[in-house]
Amino acid sequence: MLYRRRKEIKREGAIGQLKCNCVTQCALAPWREMILSHLSYRVTRDDLEKGYKVHRRPRVKYLVLFGPIEVESPYLWNSDKKQGTRPIKNQLGITHGGRSLALEKALVDLGICQSYPQAAKQFEQHYGWSIDRYRIRRSVVKIAPQAQEYVSQRLESSRKEYNISLDVRPGEDKILKEAPSASAMARAKAQRDRM
């Protein structure tokens, strides 16, 4: 039924495409939240067995590639140890306002190739929901030092390979050596005769 409806909407043009994205988002949102809620339950259950009790159950907004979702992130308290824990944050890495690795990769890929406003526009066209250009900028700026370090390490390793003498370099025996041409041989003979 949903597939047939999507085909009908696609025929309606650009407005239909927008509706199609909305239908897709509405259809997928409960599944994403259900999967993360199940993971949340399993991670929390492990800590409940260790003697922790649920102190409060805030819902956090987490951004994934196909849109924002809300996940319950309980705060657990162990009165014997006088210690609290957040299993969703500690084990799954889900924090309020956080972004998934797939979303970070998409933002960086779009942000390094074009201006941030243009990247935000293209992101909305691809994934069907809008994201602020400043989020794209923050993702690119966060990854830039790591990329710079990677490039400098690669350049340094290539420089070390390049500085090795020619007769020790791997593949030296496979280099084709060009035979001198007839005109070059004639010039060399003329130089020898002048001396």
Segments making up each domain of the chain, as ranges:
27-98, 100-161
Q: H helices of 49-180, where?
A: 87, 101-113, 116-127, 133-162
SS3 at position 75: strand
With beta carbons less than 8 A apart as the criterion, state whether 55 and 77 touch.
yes
DSSP 178: P
Return the CA Rg of the chain.
Answer: 30
What's the confidence (pLDDT) of residue 134?
A: 93
- Compute the average pLDDT of residues 55-80: 89
Query: Cα–chain-centroid distance for residue 85?
Result: 28
CA distance 21 to 169: 56
Phi-psi region of 170 (alpha: psi -120 to 50; beta: other; left: phi over 0): beta
Does the predicted model carry a pTM greater than 0.85?
Answer: no
| 120 touches 133 (CB < 8 A) | yes
pLDDT given for residue 141 in this prediction = 93
Predicted confidence at residue 67, as pLDDT, reads: 87
Give percent of the chain with pLDDT exceeding 70.
74
Q: Tell me: pLDDT of 7 over 60.
A: no
Q: Is the pLDDT of residue 128 over 60?
A: yes
Predicted confidence at residue 2, as pLDDT, reads 42
